[in-house]
Amino acid sequence: NDVEQDEEASASTSTVEEEEEDNTVANNGCPWEWHLSIVYSETWQTPVLYFHVQDAYSGQACTNRTEILKHLTQNPKQNAPPLDDDDDDSWDFVTQEEHPVTRMPSFFFHPCRTNERMALLRLECHNNNKEAMWLLQWMSLILPSIELALSSADFVQMSEKLQHEER
């Protein structure tokens, strides 16, 4: 797999435990623990968000893509439409494979679609600190899918800070 072979060997990992009330659809009311990492894809020339999910109490990993998709698409905090039985294809960018660094089974947002969307933002970025600004834009595009949205105020504040740092 080109994505796996061309990944940088460094990844930052963090854990986000969700509130119990947000997990009833896919996990029988138990909180899920999300383990996230971002790995740069040389092939697609974009960051890739990898994640694996497990029950916070038992530590049992969720490897069922349908359960993951139900959680991602049926959470009331998100703008995504609910997932119908025939709607799996609209979320075909959520894929499962071995993490390129940890070698654990992981889900990820396939970078082909990310790169398409980010290409438009690259053209619009007039900031001299383009790489940092581009990463900030990537975060604002991807993170809402897993309920880690960057607020508009935070985006503006970080963007302004990046502009001051370039001077």
Query: What is the token pair recorded at 123?
Result: 């053209």
Neighbours of 96 (CB within 10 A): 13
Q: What is the pTM of this model?
A: 0.67
Phi, psi of 45 (to 5 degrees): 55, 50
Q: What digits encode the pLDDT tens for the residues 108-132?
A: 988 887 877 787 776 666 656 778 8
Q: What digits encode the pLDDT tens for the residues 17-33?
A: 333 333 333 445 668 88
Domain architecture of the chain: domains with CATH: 2-165 (3.30.1460)
Q: What digits encode the pLDDT tens for the residues 46-62?
A: 899 999 999 899 999 88
99: helix, strand or coil: coil
Are the C-beta atoms of 119 and 141 separated by less than 8 Å?
Answer: no
